[in-house]
Amino acid sequence: MTDRKALIDKLKQGNAPALARAITLLEEGELDIPSVDQYIGATGKAVRIGVTGPPGAGKSSLIDWLIKHIRNSGEMAGVLATDPSSPFTGGAILGDRIRMQHHFLDDKVFIRSLGSRGAQGGISRITRDAAHLMQAAGYRFIILETVGVGQTELDIMNIADTVLVVLVPESGDFIQAMKAGLMEIADIFVVNKSDREGSKQLVNALKLLAETSQPGHDAWEIPIMLTNGLDGSGTSELFQTIQKHIEFMESHKETALFLRKRLHGLKQLIVEQLSVRINSAVNAEVPEHYKKELSDPSISLYSIFNRIMHDRDFTAQILK
Amino acid sequence: MTDRKALIDKLKQGNAPALARAITLLEEGELDIPSVDQYIGATGKAVRIGVTGPPGAGKSSLIDWLIKHIRNSGEMAGVLATDPSSPFTGGAILGDRIRMQHHFLDDKVFIRSLGSRGAQGGISRITRDAAHLMQAAGYRFIILETVGVGQTELDIMNIADTVLVVLVPESGDFIQAMKAGLMEIADIFVVNKSDREGSKQLVNALKLLAETSQPGHDAWEIPIMLTNGLDGSGTSELFQTIQKHIEFMESHKETALFLRKRLHGLKQLIVEQLSVRINSAVNAEVPEHYKKELSDPSISLYSIFNRIMHDRDFTAQILK
């Protein structure tokens, strides 16, 4: 464990290669945050900005502008981009990388695309844990980018403190499909490419959506920001609005929304950690003790499950 | 609970509306199989045939033919089609439905597309539990159709006793992307639209793939079947090969592959069920007892987790 401690120490000094190495270990399932939590200790503050929306909404050029504003404010910026779950569409990430490559010369900007190779719990766990490491490394703003709208993307957006849903006039289908989910995660709507035809209608539709249902957002009214990723217009105002949302959340730390986000994260963490233990407990106990039941297809898994839950040898391994 | 028992009783008599109603309850998170396992009891045998492959490989016309062969053998046939996780591509399911609509007049054929609305554990859990209900209702062959290659699709294929991977000459990218995953789940390769150019190269590529790596398939050699969904050629042989694979599995019930499949299912079941309990335990215990920690963003979720795992009030609720 001493090499883990040395790695964490280096990372906490803001060493980017150490951070990169630690994230790789996360991806490979070789690093588990709760087990090194004592080395990490207090991390200082960080803001996780979730950026989601359909492909083609211009998320990456918007992120490009956000990085500039973050750097101008004197803070370090991190980006975690998640590969879409489909292996067919890996190309988009490459595009993002090229667009963002002028930041590569800035050592206060850390950009990383994530995959979930060997690790348990999948990409949302890795994103959360990588963001925690970046926070420990001194990044004050951490941007989490996802594409699309599956459960994984919603899980990642639930990690974020502030979620931007980026839309363009062509995003009608996306909004239709995501109505409830969008409203649950969105803190700020961004209408990008706002010079295009149809922007006004989109703004009106979003206003209606924001007015009719605001589950759990307390007194925060979802603002609708107009931006243009090409010339950066509106992005400075967007950055200010993000900061306003952060202040709002900080002054509402005991409200339902804040606690809900934290509770959600805690549940995910417990399920993940217990899943790992269940996995090893099943491997260690079940094949030998339940071989007869397992090899008889007429005995359903449901009844084996009911029996196992009363097996003290088994349950003790889960709640050790 | 008496209405649940009545529903299960009806379903066990092969009543299709009762089966449909029970599956809807599953989707809505209102029915939990372990808790009604006593009413279901012994189910009789059933074979789960997994059918996966890229969009456009002709899976649904192939399934159409398989239904015919199953019905000709005198057995009842069920199909569970899972909506792709992306809401953009819902249209394909409609296409499947139209193509299969001539089976709707046959009351020994039950076709259902599944979504994972309110239920915990997602679509693979619902598919598994719906298949169990169909088994209880007397369906001897249950076809599980998935599109694409995400983790969810692999989870669903892990439920199947026999997995067909359906490919066409154009599926090169799919095979490239899925090499390891494909080999792990495939029991039978199907080269569909086999009259097209490039079929021979595809067969050769698959042969090579099947020869170089067969993890855990014991003595089963993955056959490569040629079919044509338009005129049904090769589909009768495919159905025979499926039956051969089932016989093989039945005569190898104590081998690594069989046990691995069952163990995998058991792990999923335990994780799911404990997730539900974790969810209620967190909701019941944490907001009140850990409010201070939760509302202080400088205390990481990881350290709250470490504390909760030593909280007897909490852990007792998970392993009750």
Q: Stretch B115-124: mean pLDDT, rounded?
A: 66
Q: How far is the alpha carbon of B16 from chain A, nearest alpha carbon, in Å? A: 22
Res B93 pLDDT > 60: no
Domain boundary residue among A195, A220, A252?
A: A252
Q: Does B200 touch chain A (CB under 8 A)?
A: no
Helix (H) or strand (E) holding B130: helix B122-136
Q: Are residues A234 and A270 in the same domain?
A: no
Q: Stretch B45-53: mean pLDDT, rounded?
A: 91
* A279/B267 CB distance under 8 A: yes
Assign A51 a pLDDT band (cuts: 50, 70, 90): very high
The set of residues, in sequence order, having a beta carbon less than 8 Å from that of A65 and lying 6+ positions away, is A227, A229, A232, A235, A238
Q: Does B258 touch chain A (CB under 8 A)?
A: yes
Q: Does A33 touch chain B (CB under 8 A)?
A: yes
The DSSP line for chain A is -HHHHHHHHHHHTT-HHHHHHHHHHHHTT---HHHHHHHH------EEEEEE--TTS-HHHHHHHHHHHHHHTT--EEEEEEPPSSGGGTHHHHHHHHHTGGGGG-TTEEEEEE--SS-TTHHHHHHHHHHHHHHHTT-SEEEEE--S-SHHHHHHHHH-SEEEEEE-GGGHHHHHHHHHHHHHH-SEEEE-STTSTTHHHHHHHHHHHHHH--TT-TT----EEE--TTT-TTHHHHHHHHHHHHHHHHTTTTSHHHHHHHHHHHHHHHHHHHHHHHHHHHHHHHHHHTHHHHT-TTS-HHHHHHHHTT-HHHHHHH--
Q: Give the model's pLDDT for residue B189.
A: 94
Q: Are residues B180 and B301 in the same domain?
A: no
Rg value, chain A, Cα: 22
Q: Which domain holds residue A286?
A: 266-318
* A291/B259 CB distance under 8 A: yes
pLDDT in tens, A201-217: 889 888 887 776 555 55
Nearest residue of A to residue B271 by CA position? A275
pLDDT in tens, A220-260: 888 999 999 989 999 999 999 999 999 998 888 877 777 88
B29 backbone φψ class: left, alpha, beta (φ>0; ψ -120 to 50): left
Q: Are residues B272 and B245 in the same domain?
A: no
Q: Give the model's pLDDT for residue A53.
A: 87
Q: Give the model's pLDDT for residue A215.
A: 53
Q: Which amino acid is at A303?
A: S
Residues of B in contact with A134 (CB under 8 A): none
* B132/A297 CB distance under 8 A: no
Q: Are residues A238 and A143 in the same domain?
A: yes
Q: Does A315 touch chain B (CB under 8 A)?
A: yes
Residue A76 · residue A108 · CB < 8 Å: yes
Q: Are residues B196 and B171 in the same domain?
A: yes
A294/A290 Cα distance (integer angstroms):
6
Domain presence at residue A11: no
Domain presence at residue B9: no
Q: Are residues B136 and B281 in the same domain?
A: no
Q: Are residues B120 and B198 in the same domain?
A: yes
Residue A39 · residue A4 · CB < 8 Å: yes
Q: Calculate the alpha carbon distances from B123 to B23, B35, B81, B151 in Å.
A: 12, 19, 10, 11
pLDDT in tens, B145-172: 987 666 677 788 888 999 999 999 888 7
Q: Give the model's pLDDT for residue A105.
A: 66
Residues of B in contact with A299 (CB under 8 A): none
Assign A271 a pLDDT band (cuts: 50, 70, 90): confident
Prediction ipTM score: 0.74
Q: How far is the alpha carbon of B176 from chain A, nearest alpha carbon, in Å? A: 10
Q: Are residues B304 and B229 in the same domain?
A: no
Q: Are residues A214 and A308 in the same domain?
A: no
Of the listed ranges A276-280, B75-79, B257-261, the one predicted with least confidence: B257-261
Bridge partners of A188?
A: A164
